[in-house]
């Protein structure tokens, strides 16, 4: 039997970060992982999709814009399988890096299925059937989530896909219906469309990217339409029928019912937590509706010494949120932090083309909460660097409190906005106003100048508009 200060169940972006931070703080730490170091994110999620999106960007430039850049291509050959293989190499490199970090920080790794036996004990069963018992003063549940089958739309890995099937398949569908226009659906629509697939996006809510500021969603719909992607917002999926050629997806909007035929359908909605059969009930841990682990604002469960982070909590299913939760938990265990988590102010990004990035309150949410708001908007078509790049659809929108100047939220669509967003989240965290961002000198020509211009626009002082 081995004894630890902290044992983390799950080595995804929350779990492995938590274990490393605990070790840095002088705690004896271990992590238990049944399948992948780095979890879904590094292996079959965030990282491989971004690799595929880079390939898609290159392909789109060559296919659609080569003449603009003075390049002619004869007998162009595009190999989608090569893009998938490159994405696997990228993932493998990073997962090896996580293993290196475990060794560097002296975090013990146990490969196998972990199950709680009481408040302070985890039994790890390896693939060969052998078992090890770990005792821990603190246990962190970081087991993540998985796709949740929808009745009547069960995936088969061939015609009806989950995100895992879509990431790993080396064949390109000539046509696909993507069900769900959140980040996952929008990103795969971008990849497959760039390679020439005929894509239809089906979203039950009134707009694509339904959780974003409405102006951003409308702009995204416009750009997707230009790219040849059919967006069916406000449509509910009734069912999926298998055909000789692929699938027939039945959708409804109001009283109208229609059928969309395609080679494949991707289910990009519905996730459930990996919280069953790991001993949580026996340990007395309270679960919320849907099986998500209930935590307080410190990520503590109702059982002293048991904590939980990441997708298994259902709070905000983003890798960087899980990592931040992991660091805060480690610091709370070590007695070095009492930081309170505000999920509304966490950065969010969609790596479609164009990209979408945001944090905080939308304009409507701020109004609904009783704020008197001032809004600054600035388009990328007024930014010299964006024009030079030939990529200037979109805008930046800043929502500010009229009384005190506090930045309540920012909403962006356009080139590399995921890289621009942190300036605004840092400003919010340190209580800077839009006027102070506007007063900060931004190098010219850069895309970041749009942050300055949008900040000036809050008070009607934008220069280039």
Cα dist from 91 to 10, 84, 327, whole Å: 18, 11, 23
DSSP assignment string, 91-118: HHHHHHHHHHHHHHTT-EEEESEEEE-S
Residue tagged active-site, from 235, 320, 428, 444? 444
Q: What CA–CA distance (Å, rounded) separates 359 from 222? A: 22
Within a 13 Å sphere around the CA of 159, how many CA atoms are in the beta-carbon half?
15
Tokens of 419: 């890289």
Q: Diameter of the chain by CA atoms?
A: 68
Terminal-residue alpha carbon distance, the chain: 68
Helix (H) or strand (E) holding 200: strand 198-203
Classified as helix, coil or strand, 357 is strand
Helix (H) or strand (E) holding 233: strand 230-233
Residues 6+ positions from 208 with CB-CB distance below 8 Å = 181, 186, 201, 217, 220, 221, 224, 231, 233
Question: Residue 52: which region, alpha, beta or left (left: phi > 0; alpha: psi -120 to 50)?
Answer: alpha
**H helix runs in 108-213, sequence order:** 163-168, 183-194
Q: Are strands 306-308 and 271-273 parallel, antiparallel or unpaired?
A: unpaired
Classified as helix, coil or strand, 271 is strand
Is 444 noted as a catalytic residue in this protein?
yes
| Inter-residue contact 266 to 247 (CB < 8 Å) | no
Active-site residue list: 444
């Amino acid at each position: 039997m081995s004894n630890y200060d902290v044992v983390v169940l799950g080595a995804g972006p929350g779990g492995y970060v938590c274990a490393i931070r605990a070790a840095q703080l002088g705690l004896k730490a271990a992590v238990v992982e049944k399948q992948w170091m780095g979890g879904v994110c590094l292996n079959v999620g965030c990282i491989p999709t971004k690799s595929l999106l880079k390939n898609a960007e290159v392909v789109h430039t060559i296919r659609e814009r080569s003449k603009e850049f003075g390049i002619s291509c004869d007998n162009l050959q595009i190999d989608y399988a090569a893009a998938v293989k490159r994405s696997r190499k990228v993932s493998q490199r990073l997962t090896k890096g996580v293993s290196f970090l475990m060794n560097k920080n002296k975090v013990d790794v146990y490969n196998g299925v972990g199950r709680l036996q009481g408040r302070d004990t985890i039994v790890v069963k390896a693939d060969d059937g052998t078992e090890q018992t770990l005792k821990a003063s603190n246990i962190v549940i970081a087991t993540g989530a998985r796709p949740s089958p929808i009745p009547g739309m069960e995936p088969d890995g061939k015609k009806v896909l989950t995100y895992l099937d879509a990431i790993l398949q080396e064949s390109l569908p000539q046509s696909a219906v993507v069900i769900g226009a959140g980040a996952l659906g929008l990103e795969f629509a971008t990849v497959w469309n760039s390679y020439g697939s005929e894509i239809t996006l089906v979203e039950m809510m009134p707009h694509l990217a339904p959780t974003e500021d409405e102006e951003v969603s409308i702009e995204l719909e416009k750009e997707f339409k230009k790219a040849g992607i059919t967006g069916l917002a406000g449509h509910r999926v009734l069912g999926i029928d298998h055909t000789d050629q692929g699938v027939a997806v039945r959708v409804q909007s109001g009283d109208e019912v229609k059928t969309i035929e395609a080679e494949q359908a991707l289910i990009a909605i519905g996730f459930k937590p990996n919280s069953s059969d790991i001993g949580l009930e026996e340990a007395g841990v309270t679960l919320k509706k849907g099986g998500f682990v209930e935590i307080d604002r410190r990520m503590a469960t109702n059982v002293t010494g048991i904590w939980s982070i990441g997708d298994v909590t259902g709070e905000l299913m983003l890798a960087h949120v899980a990592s931040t939760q992991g660091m805060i938990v480690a610091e709370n265990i070590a007695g070095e932090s009492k930081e309170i988590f505000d999920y509304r102010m966490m950065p969010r990004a969609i790596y479609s083309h164009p990209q979408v990035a945001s944090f905080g309150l939308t304009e409507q949410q701020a109004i609904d909460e009783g704020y008197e708001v001032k809004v600054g908007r600035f388009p990328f078509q007024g930014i010299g660097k964006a024009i030079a790049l030939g990529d200037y659809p979109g805008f930046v929108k800043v929502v500010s409190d009229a009384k005190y100047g506090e930045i309540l939220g920012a909403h962006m669509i356009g080139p590399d906005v995921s890289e621009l967003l942190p300036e605004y989240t840092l400003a919010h965290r340190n209580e800077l106003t839009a006027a102070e961002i506007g007063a900060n000198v931004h190098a010219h020509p850069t895309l970041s100048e749009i942050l300055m211009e949008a900040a000036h626009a809050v008070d009607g002082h934008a220069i280039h508009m």
